[in-house]
Amino acid sequence: MNMRYRVLGGTGIEVSHHCLGAMMFGSVANNDHEEGVRIIHRALDAGINFVDTADMYSAGESEQIVGKALKDRRDDVVLATKVHFPLGEGRNRSGNSRRHILNAVEDSLRRLDTDWIDLYQVHRPDYRTDIDETLSVLTDLVREGKIRAFGCSTYPAEEIVEAHHVSMNRGYLRFRTEQPPYSLLARGVERSVLPTAQRLGMGVLVWSPLASGFLSGKHRRGAAAEAFRATLTPERFDESLPGNAAKFEAVEQFAKLADEMGVSLPALAVAFVTTHPGVTSAITGPRTMEQLESLLEGASLVLTDDVLDRIDEIVPPGVDTYDVHGFWKPAALLEVHQRRRPLDQR
């Protein structure tokens, strides 16, 4: 295995092209803290120096597990976490406001048992909060030394551009990274998000390169979906739903291609996303040691142009075969009044 490293968005910080995602650590998937620590240590020993979590993962439990694992290895790790989603009931406990971010960063620092966060990311846009407010507080946190850099996650290209424009005009530091969904089955970000990030010199760490487990090799047409991911979101793996047909057909073709190459489907999937020149690192979120070892086996895989041409034939560039955003929707779609003129103006 040959782990490769890339500079993260002009920050000068070198990160492994595989990033260990910690979403599966904690009550949502694997609540064995000691096993989580062992998985993280194995990843670090294999050359991964980039770990990504979020305050919302298992309501903070993931951050606690990561903090335990990095207790004596903190200086060797680039640590990323995120803020936005609520962790409890009540008002003003979510979003991208100064009030919430200042509270949330202190909670994350405590759970992670660290004095600083290398990359602090805004998990989703917040249409109730002016981007000026968010960039202002993130800039203050960098200057206070609590975070080293900040980025955004799952932002549309136009909002990335707006944020950079506000930073330039107001003298704030800027988003250094974007974290979008990207996989063999979800290539929509190739249209504008990845090119925009490239033009702005941003680092990109992509999430769900295995398409929420669909490219794990365990979900095949005609076979019952019994893997862990299917228990979390069964509708994504239900063959009777018309929207899933294209996914199952593409998976069969990708599995055939992987077999011809003599590699696993997950290895092919991760190698694909790290081939894009705009991608810095791919976040892989193993739940077990076995899953981690499988992913590490493909860390050295390099895809030829012939293979990439075959991939383009199966799922064309810029095409999403499913709704990549899952439970989260932008306010423009959720809020009816944003899509309909008042009666007196129709």
- Rg (C-alpha) for the chain, rounded Å, is 20
- pLDDT value of residue 259: 96
Counted residue by residue, the chain has a size of: 346
- pLDDT value of residue 327: 64
What is the torsional sign of CA 225, 229, 234, 237?
negative
Per-residue pLDDT, averaged over 134-142, amounts to: 98
CA end-to-end span of the chain: 63
pLDDT digits (tens, 9 = 90+) for 248-268: 899 999 999 999 999 999 999
pLDDT digits (tens, 9 = 90+) for 256-312: 999 999 999 999 999 999 999 999 999 999 999 999 998 888 888 999 999 999 999
Query: What angle is formed at CA 134 by the lines to CA 50 and CA 61, rounded to 5 degrees?
Result: 45
Whether 175 has a pLDDT exceeding 90, the answer reads yes
Residues with catalytic roles? 57
- pLDDT value of residue 292: 93
